[in-house]
Amino acid sequence: MNIVVNGNSIDVPRACNIVQLLEQLDLDGRHVAVELNRAILPHEDHASRLLEDNDSLEIVTFVGGG
Amino acid sequence: MTTPLETSSQVTSEDPLRIGSFVLESRLIVGSGRYQDVQVMSESLELSGSDCVTVAVRRERLHDRDGENLLDHIDPERFVLLPNTAGCYSAEDAVRVARLGREILRSLGNAGADWVKLEVLGDTRTLLPDPVATLEATELLVNDGFQVLCYTSDDPVMAQRLKQAGAVAVMPAGSPIGSGQGILNPNNIRICLEYLKQDDPDYPVIVDAGVGTASDVAFAMELGVDGVLLNTAIAHARDPLAMAMAMRKAVEAGRLAFLAGRIPRRLYATASSPEDGVIATHPFPRKGK
């Protein structure tokens, strides 16, 4: 099924949770925040929330800034 | 009576900067942006003596990643991270970014999870803040439990409004972000200090943005601000490591000078050496003699 991550369309297996998605994207879960369909998904819910077709996610991290 | 030595040791090691629930050892807050590479950044942060570093919140790159994260190069035991809302031009975006930053801090177990450097810009060329949107975002974030450190212009009326809205610190710009022009309107900074600290002398006022070199920092501190937040002045100096050390000393020198109290400016000279007993012929009759 298809989801949108940071504006890019991505194919993920059914019944994939956020922890698995971050692994697939090679991202360290501790360093990111995830917004699912415009609502922040707290880290403690990453394992329980299963992705659904057409879900839209923003995955952000810290970068250098002033 | 304290000796000068005791006074100076108090200032350098026991004169913390208190912002909301945070206590920072150094009065210098440094940004982590615009460095040529992470090694120079990390060494500069260390040499600056700061214990608080600002960071920006951005989308993860899904392709062409180098596998490195900024957080691999900033020791969370050594530095408190202060997320910013840089690049936001509306209150809505700033609140969204602030919440994302808070979520990352929570995941890192960072004690500073609920603070944010609020920046809502109004113009891309000057990067000056949008005062209306900044005030709106401050109110929204304070209601959401944030401790808001608010970037603003040096307008004293706006500064008061932000404090009234619940900002834990007001941070007037010395001059536009990254411009290196220094403190363009010290009188406005003085009025901000007077207004914000009236009946509340410990309320933190921090100069954020615009400083170009160490003397700008010392000058800001001598005005009586509680701290200085800077980024480009170190990151884009010819030698960032040396400038980081200069900034550390400038903050300390400026703070000490402020606490020590400068002498009044006088139009005419006053001799430092005694006038009596001079072995010289005085060309002019002395006053009162």
User: Tokens standing for B31?
Assistant: 């940004």
pLDDT tens for each residue of B214-258:
999 999 999 999 999 999 999 999 999 999 999 999 999 999 999
Tell me the average pLDDT across A42-57.
Answer: 96
pLDDT tens for each residue of A4-31:
999 999 999 999 999 999 999 999 999 9
Inter-chain CB proximity B60 and A26 less than 8 Å: no
What residues have CB less than 8 Å from B25, skipping those under 6 apart? B13, B16, B17, B51
Which candidate from A8, A62, A66 shows the least CB-CB separation from B62? A8
pLDDT tens for each residue of B56-65:
999 999 887 7
Which candidate from B58, B177, B178 shows the least CB-CB separation from A61? B58
Which candidate from B34, B56, B231 shows the least CB-CB separation from A62? B56
Q: Is B54 on the interface with A (CB under 8 A)?
A: yes
Inter-chain CB proximity A64 and B67 less than 8 Å: no
CATH domain B4-260 topology: TIM Barrel (3.20.20)
Inter-chain CB proximity B41 and A64 less than 8 Å: yes
Cα–Cα distance, B108 to B70 (Å, whole number): 13
Using the predicted structure, report yes or no on whether residue B12 has a pLDDT greater than 90.
no
| Global confidence as pTM | 0.92
Neighbours of B128 (CB within 10 A): 17
Q: Where are the domains of chain B?
A: 4-260
Active site residues of B: 117
The per-residue pLDDT for B1 is: 39
Domains and CATH numbers, chain A: 2-61 (3.10.20.30)
Q: Is A66 on the interface with B (CB under 8 A)?
A: yes
